[in-house]
Amino acid sequence: MLVKILLVVGLFGLALSVEQVRYDNYKVYNVRIDDLEQFRLLNSQEKSLKLSSWREARHLGESSDIMLPPEYQKAFESLLTNHNFTYNLKIDNVQTHIDAQRPKQRITSMEWTQFHTLEEIFAWLDVIEDRYPDIVTPFTIGNSYEGRPIRGVKISYKEGNPAVFIESNIHAREWITSATITYFIDELLVPRNPAVRDIAQNVDWYIIPVLNTDGFAYSHEVERLWRKSRLPSDPTGECIGTDLNRNFDYLWMLTGAESDPCSQIYAGPSAESDPEISQLTAYINNSIPEGTIKIYISLHSYGQYVLSPWGHTALEFPEHYPQMMHVAKGFSDALYRRYGTVFTYGSSATTLYEVSGSGKEWAYAVKNIKIPYTIELRDKGELGFVLPPEDIIPVAREVTEGFVGMIAAAREIDIL
């Protein structure tokens, strides 16, 4: 269902009448896929039943999270029953949870009891740049397709530190990522315990809170569950956007990506076709001294994973895989001690699914960064992309402790 509302697009100062997508009575099902026949059957029904995948099964015998509108639910349930799928209902009404994510009264100053807009995050970056000029160095890698700046901060207490690079919210709908990483930035600037003070003062942090600025703004203003960029994908204008985490120039389009512009995992017409990715790689290549970055992190949700290369194959592992697993264990163990949240770690291809053209693969294979990860934050699928605002601080606190453990583990094997 679409509801027309008037939105003020603050970045450009324009009042635009747009249609905001609602998900009233949309449901999310958890569907186990036991054999290839079931897998092919679901794929064949994706367009006709308007199936939207939130999370795909990793292997046969595992489950996918699938959302669909109310008018197709009866047919979908009949299909599942008639073909002996095992399934259960995870979310009864998606819009209810989206409404809960949007505050009844906005607090425009930065705090972590609500999900903030791009404009609010940028205003906060202005504040911390002014407040901590000796520690915070702002940078902009360039502009998005629609002209929004893609902003980041370097946090450095002294020269000569090794660096960690973090890009967040490359997928627009994963709001918990930018909420978590802005909390972490605040912790680095005002450390409240000695362990955080140590990693703040002795490691440089390059952080882009929102890489997919166009998609993120669109997910706030129009379509909450938007994933991709906003670059038009085909001449008809019917399909918009690239999956930016399939657009890096390493084994682009080899596996785990689609050439169909309407697909959620469309890799773009060519590697680095989207300015968000071409400018990100150019910034790392040209503005950060070679060898400075020791750890690269692409922050995502959901699933609770720490994923390393390789993504394109489960039949071999990179040279530095033992080191990657040592540091991933350090992150996961430290995070677990906060609230008992379990993160699974391993290579993408063996732990989640095969993928190529992603940020961590490029970081390792092209830039020789020995410790690169995709980190998938909470949860395991109970609410997925529509976590309530009450979860922001717990998630951010455990991730902060995870980063402390990650740095400690990296030091143990002389990565840092």
Question: In angstroms, rounded to a whole number, what is the distance separating the alpha carbons of residues 224 and 218?
Answer: 8
- The β-bridge partners of 14 are 9
Cα end-to-end distance, the chain, whole Å? 51
Q: Three-state DSSP class for 33? A: strand
Q: What is the CA radius of gyration of the chain?
A: 21
Answer whether the bond into residue 379 is a cis peptide, omega within 30°: yes
Nearest to 303 by CA among 343, 346, 330, 257: 343
Alpha carbon of residue 105 to chain centroid: 26
SS (H, E, C) 133-177: CCCEEEEEEEECCCCCEEEEEEECCCCCCCEEEEEECCCCCCHHH
Nearest to 354 by CA among 315, 300, 303, 322: 315
258 noted as active-site residue: no
CA distances, 114 to each of 179, 213, 239, 380, 397 (Å): 8, 18, 31, 21, 15
Question: In angstroms, rounded to a whole number, what is the distance separating the alpha carbons of residues 187 and 245?
Answer: 27
Alpha carbon of residue 92 to chain centroid: 24
The set of long-range contacts for 101-110, using a CB threshold of 8 Å and a minimum separation of 24, is 101/175, 101/224, 101/386, 101/387, 101/388, 101/389, 103/389, 110/182, 110/186
DSSP 264: T
One of 376, 382, 390, 398 is an active-site residue; which one? Answer: 376
Contacts of 305 by beta carbon, 8 Å cutoff, 6+ apart: 343, 344, 345, 351, 352, 374, 375, 376
| Residues tagged active-site | 376
